[in-house]
A and B are shown apart, each in its own frame.
Chain A
Amino acid sequence: MRELINIIFTAQFLHSVFRVTTPILFASLGAVIANRAGVANIALEGIMLISAFFGVFGSAATGSALGGFLIALLSGLICSGILALFTLYYRANVILGGIAINSLASGGTVFLLYLFTGDKGSSTSVASKTLPEIAIPVLKDIPFLGDILSGQNIMTYLAFIMILIVAVFLGKTTLGYHIRAVGENLKAAESVGINVKLTQTIALLLSGLLCACGGAFMSMGYLSSFTRDMVSGRGWIAVAAEAIGRSNPIITAGASIAFGFFNAISTAASTVGWASSLVQTIPYVSTLIGLFAFSYKEYLKLKKR
């Protein structure tokens, strides 16, 4: 235990908290936008996985990390477009539609991985590119703080900037107003001439783009290759973070960072020799407890009324 606590106060550990928070943060912000428009995006996990896959193969095909990133974004857009088509236009149950996309992602990426590489486990044989890490001038020279905040992947900075962008987008822009109006009262929004379906579609597409950022980071930053089911529940943890944050981007981000912290703890604990199979469950246990605590609080509030 002491060993673990010692690790927690190192710059290296705090640096890793930001790193592991990144994909969860992107996805949970995606969940915020979709949920604010009144459509739960349950496919976060699958969209991240698919864009992680296309990021790797896109970067190998175009020979540039930027090309891979753009292809990952495109794949996330297409995926969320399919989800929007089925749930909004063909009225599929949102949850079942999401479950289908997730499983399509899990099976489809392995299918394609095998076709392209002859391997069902990982894409290490593919010469893919990674997104750059950025040293921030001045900041990087500050001891301790510089070690934590500088030298992160470009996507990590983007994720944290996104918190503000999403907050401003939802709070201050016309489209953001429309999204919130549709989510809060569909009929009222319709009566003042807002195109409900279009607004919800846009919200799902934006949510897909954010997931794609998380996915691209997974395979082109967090790791430098694609491995099967590499998202491993991060999309669901993001769903929980969004629920705890009650669709508020700032609180949701806070919850994501908390889950990222437990994710980092889990990695750190396995390096000090704790049983890895148990330690791996820490992020999920913390999510379960977090969700329970939140629901319990809501329950008490309801009961008081």
Chain B
Amino acid sequence: MSREKSFHLLRTTVALVIAMLAAFAVIFMVSDTPIESIRLFILGPFSKPRYIGNIINTAIPLIFSGLSMAVVFQASQFNMGAEGIFYFSGAVISLIAIWVPLPVGVHQVVIILAAAVIGALIMLIPGYLKAKYGASELVTSLMMNSILLGLGSYLMTRVLQDPMASNGSYPYLDTAKIPVIIPAFKVHYGLFIALLCVAAVYVFLYKTKWGYEIRMVGINAKFAAYSGINIVKTIIIAHLVSGAIAGIGGSVESIAMHTRFEWNGLPGYGFTGALIAMLANNNPVSVIYAALFVAYLSTGADIVARLSDVPAEMSTILQSLIILLIASERFLHSFKQRWMERGIAK
């Protein structure tokens, strides 16, 4: 491993430790039984097979959103649109999952492909506006999130809503569902789809011309332009790929974890995806570990919230803190200097 890479690993670890310590401090301040709460937070997620399965199932959508963010981040594009796409693709594919009868296998594939197309088309808007006209993709994608939420809930109330269900769509057809692999853990087959996507994004980013161009534009757009890379095209491709992954994520999450469409608001995967991409240094393979770690944190926070007196939002606070530390170039900077210099001296 190069010194640069091992430094990134070290820095990430230190940031995580500091964030965990901060979480303990918060627990000590708010909990009546702090030691017990901390024990639940740390060890709770491993105490039952169901909880371990829960970590993996929580990690699956996070792998998709992390990958989606990693692709746009690699091109230095700050697009937070994965959030809205997760929700909206979930709503639209519900139409297929409820009303289009197809054989098992084909049904899931059609749903996932449709979601990928929807996601890519949605991302085309902020992507094109940024690449061609320079409109801030951060702002346009956030506006799109709110618009998609409105469109999705319109679809829900006008079409999907089951009058017999208190708050959900008509149930999905059985042929559309993604089954669980091992019943005791309740882990579903979406895991393999997520891993497949990781492999595909890895190959795309590191073994194809387009992937290379995306990374070059991300490192230095001006230089990339001088060396003949079409920046407009590259930025749009990064957005399309990112949108397709987010769309797939939304559809897999819907038909694997739900029996009907029941999201009332944006599910929050977009922001967490940004965190995961950062933890993973935008590397698709590392996204898996980062997603598992964040899933572990939020499972721990959920358990503490259920069995103790600390609200589950603690995991959001933790995540924000981790982002702040990792995003800080100067964090552990003097250590990095010495570490790199020693490497050169050898």
Contacts and interface: CB of A to CB of B under 8 A. Distances in A.
A278 B150 contact: yes
B327 A291 contact: no
Interface residues of A, number: 46
Interface in B46-90: 78, 80
Given A233-B143, A236-B139, A291-B140, A90 B320 contact: no
Q: Is the interface of A mostly helix, strand, loop or mixed?
A: helix
Interface string A92-130: 110111011101101110110011000010000000000
Most chain B beta-carbon contacts within 10 A, residue among A42, A100, A106, A294? A100
Interface stretch (B192-200, B308-316, B336-344): B308-316
B316 A103 contact: yes
Contacts of A237: 143
Given A236-B142, A284-B146, A291 B314 contact: no
Contacts of B316: 103-104, 106-108, 111
B207 interface: no
Contact of B311 (A91, A111, A287): A111
Contacts of A278: 150-151, 154
A139 to B, nearest CB: 36
A91 B80 contact: no
Contacts of A295: 129, 133-135
B282 to A, nearest CB: 12
A281 interface: yes
Contact of A243 (B139, B150, B317): B139
Contact of B147 (A103, A281, A298): A281
Given A101-B320, A104-B321, A295-B129, A277 B150 contact: yes
B311 A103 contact: no
A275 B161 CA distance: 15
Contact of B143 (A110, A287, A298): A287
A110 B313 contact: yes
Nearest to B318: A107
Contacts of A236: 139, 142-143
A297 B308 CA distance: 56
A121 B131 CA distance: 39
Contacts of A233: 142-143, 146
Interface in A184-233: 232-233
B83 to A, nearest CB: 11
A86 interface: yes
A288 B144 contact: yes
A103 B328 contact: no
B260 to A, nearest CB: 18
Contacts of A291: 129, 135-136, 139-140, 143
A103 B132 CA distance: 30
B134 A292 contact: no
B139 A95 contact: no
Contacts of A287: 139, 143
B292 interface: no
A107 B134 contact: no
A97 B324 contact: yes
A299 B129 CA distance: 11
A292 B135 contact: yes
Contact of A292 (B30, B133, B153, B317): B133
A284 B126 CA distance: 13
Interface in B109-154: 129, 132-136, 138-140, 142-144, 146-147, 149-151, 153-154
| Nearest 4 CB-CB pairings of A with B | A107-B316, A281-B150, A90-B328, A104-B320
Interface of A: 42, 86, 89-93, 95-97, 99-101, 103-104, 106-108, 110-111, 114-115, 120, 232-233, 236-237, 239-240, 243, 275, 277-278, 280-281, 284-285, 287-288, 291-292, 294-296, 298-299
